Amino acid sequence: MSERVPILKIGDVLLVSIQIDLEDQMVMDLQEDLSQRIVDTGARGVVIDISALEIVDSFVGRMLASIAAISRVLGAETVVVGMRPAVAMTLVELGLSLGGVRTALNLEQGIGELRRSRRNGSVPR
């Protein structure tokens, strides 16, 4: 029962919307799948929507940070969007600040953020 999180491609952006409570294996699979898709598609942006996630623990937090780092190495900028207030407050208390991960309030803002960083040339081609 190795369910996988779907990765959608829109233009040169990969969109991941996490809709269910993730098992650890799915988290690790996602990291692997996403790296592969970035390479295969030449995507230059990744948006991870976590608005459906009721909790983010240190394991998932670490995954988000490493996805951001990996995709940056592969030439794509990652934006994590839709974090719920209760989740943000819990992560702060937990001692996690997701430094190095771009965030935005929602999908629209997230794509705007990618577009902006493209315009400012902060993503290597």
Q: Phi first, then psi: what are they for 79, rounded to 5°?
A: -125, 130
The dihedral region occupied by 69, where left means phi > 0, alpha psi between -120 and 50, and beta the remainder, is alpha
Site membership for another protein, residue 124 (CB under 8 A): no
What are 102's strand-pairing partners?
Answer: 79
Question: Among residues 25, 29, 106, 36, which one has the least CA distance to residue 71?
Answer: 36
Considering only residues 77-106, where is the footprint of another protein by CB under 8 A?
Answer: 79-81, 83-98, 103-106
Candidate list 42, 100, 112, 124; residue touching another protein; CB under 8 A: 112
CB of 83 to another protein, least distance (A): 5
Binding footprint of another protein on the chain (CB under 8 A): 10-11, 13, 21-25, 54-59, 61-62, 79-81, 83-98, 103-106, 108-116, 118
